[in-house]
Amino acid sequence: MVQAVAAGLAEAKPHCLVFFITHLAHESLTKVLSASGVSFVSITSPPVLSASCLHRYITADDSVNTRPQSIQDVNVHPGIGWKLRIEELHRQECLIAVGNILNCEHQHGDHIIINFFALEGWHLAEVYQVPCAVAAPYVMPYSAPVSFERSFMKRHPLLYDKLKRRVPGTVGWEDVMHWMWPLFTDRWTEWRAKLHLSSCPLTDPVTDLPRVHNWPSEPLLLYGFSKHVVECPPYWPSTAHACGFWFLRERISDSEFQQSAYSELIAFLKESTISPIFFGLSSIGSMGLIDNPKGMLDVLGGVLRAADRYAILFTAAHAPLEAAVLDAANQDDRQTANDADEELQKEVLAVEKVLQQGIRLFGNRLFCMSGSLPYLWLFPKCSLIVHHGGSGTTAAALQSGIPQVICPFVLDQFYWAERMAWIAVAPEPLKKEYLVPPAHSETHIAVDKLLRAINEASSPRIRACAAELGEKIRNEDGVNVAVEALCRTMLI
């Protein structure tokens, strides 16, 4: 996704210094980015403030329990809520990370490139007076409130008028309504004051009037999806481009995998009489949204037995799900115990090692694996992709030309789930209770609903649409299009 653009830019322009700032949770990207010449810079705050984050950051008396080590000197005021505290720490870390880069390496031609969930970068670009561009693998996942324009016009009448009458090629009202509107909300006011900026973007810090000088150019907006998947209507800003999907340029052969930690997975694929179904919820577990992992396994087991199918479950290192997998593996062992199984039972106790190699459940029908999985290599070997609707997983499934069943949980996942159904590469979105049923509930309804979705996704119509679209997407080079656009904008 965005990291692929960073890698592509570093490879295309080796004389440029490229830094990728993201959450420490994504440190697995370090190796592949480093190979392309990109420096990985980590932010220790969590990608999502889930309920599980509360226990790591907050004690019972509502004080911060764990602070990022790089900003231990940040003054945390006892009167603000825990979410605001973590947000404050996160923003301070972003300021320090960008400052360490630009204060040391600042030179003409510097740019900050952000996505829609990293709007701190826009304000920091204003601090350092460098241009800011957007590289997003999805459209803005939420629209401006109905009252936004009326409220903006009332609070900032002169700025509103200037945006409406903008000079071609500069920031205008269509940019604000398309994606920039969150920059003008009150959640940034206090932080902008700490950064010695005006309370409202595009205004003078002394007079609070619209800027007279240095009015910014219309920012480049790169979308990491295909025009064959998402239509780009004419009312979008002129600088918005659908580049095609962004994939890291990894080319790994079966022979290389055979000698790696994926050897058990390859053996499972060879032994399966038909191509398996892939199940993966990626980051949903870390968000605290898989609240009944045992129920989820029960549903998968019921579906596989009823359909006489095989499947791969990617646990994404989600501890409760992995604990449920190990418990199920122990139950399988007890049911078929013999002398030959004793070694396996011992290995099951070594959680990390065993799950990275893979565990088989339900009479060898389900292969469960942790660690990391190369989707672009694996998905073409599967018959169906069942997932949460994350932009990266959706893109990989589309590129592989394999039908999907999408069970959305949050944010842009609902958009992708609806869009995949609209373009006929997936059935209607699956409700989350049909994949992760509520605790203490019967699973037969979920098994039936999921089975129906799988059967519909396996229909000739959906398979043909997925295959045709996959061929079109494989003929695109989204990374190259994005890199060329950035190079033209940055004049490098």
In angstroms, rounded to a whole number, what is the distance separating the alpha carbons of residues 160 and 174? 11
Whether 226 and 206 have beta carbons less than 8 Å apart is answered as no
Under a CB-based contact definition with an 8 Å cutoff, are residues 272 and 306 in contact? no
Domain hosting residue 411, numbered range: 254-474
Sign of the four-CA dihedral 269, 270, 272, 274 = positive
Distance CA 144, CA 116 (A): 14
Predicted pLDDT of residue 261: 66
Residues 38 and 175 in one domain: yes
**Alpha-carbon gap, residue 409 to 252, rounded angstroms:** 31
User: What tokens appear for 253 in the block?
Assistant: 């052969």
Rounded-to-integer distance, Cα 369 and Cα 356, Å: 6
Q: How many CB atoms lie within 10 A of CB 362?
A: 17
Share of the chain above pLDDT 90, in %: 59
* Lowest-confidence pick of 88-97, 294-303, 329-338: 329-338
Confidence of residue 354 (pLDDT cuts 50, 70, 90): low
Q: Is the pTM of this model over 0.75?
A: yes
Q: Which of 102-106, 335-339, 372-376 has the lowest mean pLDDT?
A: 335-339
Query: What tokens appear for 142 in the block?
Result: 């939420």
pLDDT at res. 411 = 81
Query: Do 168 and 260 belong together in one domain?
Result: no
- The token pair at 335 is 């049911």
Question: CB–CB of 390/282 below 8 Å?
Answer: yes
Q: In sequence order, what DSSP letters do the residues of 119-156 get, joined into one string?
A: THHHHHHHHHT--EEEEESS--SSPPPTTHHHHHHHH-
- Condensed to tens digits (0 to 9), the pLDDT of residues 162-182 reads 999 989 999 999 999 999 999
Q: 392, 428, 438: which is closest to 407 by C-alpha?
A: 428
Residues in Cβ contact with 316 at an 8 Å cutoff, skipping those fewer than 6 apart = 280, 281, 282, 283, 285, 286, 370
pLDDT at 327: 87
Angle between helices 293-307 and 444-457 (to 10 degrees): 60
Q: What percentage of the chain's residues is helix, strand, coil (to nearest 5)?
A: 50, 10, 40
Instruction: Tell me the C-alpha distance between 428 and 405, whole Å.
Output: 8
The CATH number of whichever domain residue 190 belongs to comes to 3.40.50
Query: Residues 412, 115: contact at Cβ < 8 Å?
Result: no
- Asked if pLDDT for residue 60 goes beyond 50, the answer is no
Same domain, 218 and 81: yes
Q: Which amino acid is at 245?
A: F
* Token duo for residue 146: 């109905």
Task: Report the C-alpha gap between 358 and 61 in whole angstroms.
Answer: 42
List, for residues 177-194, the tens digit of each pLDDT value. 999 999 999 999 999 999
Pick the closest to residue 117 from 95, 100, 134 (CA basis).
134
What does the pLDDT read at residue 373? 84
> Higher model confidence: residue 87 or residue 243?
243
CATH number of the domain at 452, please. Answer: 3.40.50.2000
Residues 305 and 211 in one domain: no
Residue 386 dihedral angles phi and psi, to the nearest 5°: -105, 120
Of the ranges 42-56, 185-199, 256-270, which is most confident?
185-199
74/107 same-domain check: yes
Q: Confidence band (pLDDT; 50, 70, 90) for 372?
A: confident
Residues 345, 465 share a domain: yes
More confident residue, 377 or 58: 377
Span 350-369, mean pLDDT?
80
pLDDT of residue 80: 47
The 10 Å Cβ neighbour count of residue 48 is 18
SS3 467: helix
Domains: count for the chain: 2
Same structural domain, 188 and 263: no
User: What CA–CA distances, in Å, run from 188 to 84, 193, 438?
Assistant: 12, 9, 37
- Between strands 359-361 and 366-369, the pairing is antiparallel
| pLDDT over 80 (residue 491) | no
**Residue 60 structure tokens:** 């019972």
Do 258 and 176 lie in a common domain? no
Specify whether 310 is located in the same domain as 200. no
Q: Are residues 259 and 270 in the same domain?
A: yes
Q: Is 23 helix (H, G, I), strand (E, B) or coil?
A: strand
User: Are 177 and 285 in a shared domain?
Assistant: no
Per the model's pLDDT, the better-predicted residue between 433 and 87 turns out to be 433
Position 106 scores a pLDDT of 57
Which token pair is 392?
Answer: 């990266």
Tell me: do 198 and 268 sit in the same domain. Answer: no
Buried b (16+ CB within 10 A) or exposed e, 180-201: bbbbbeeebeebbeebebbebb
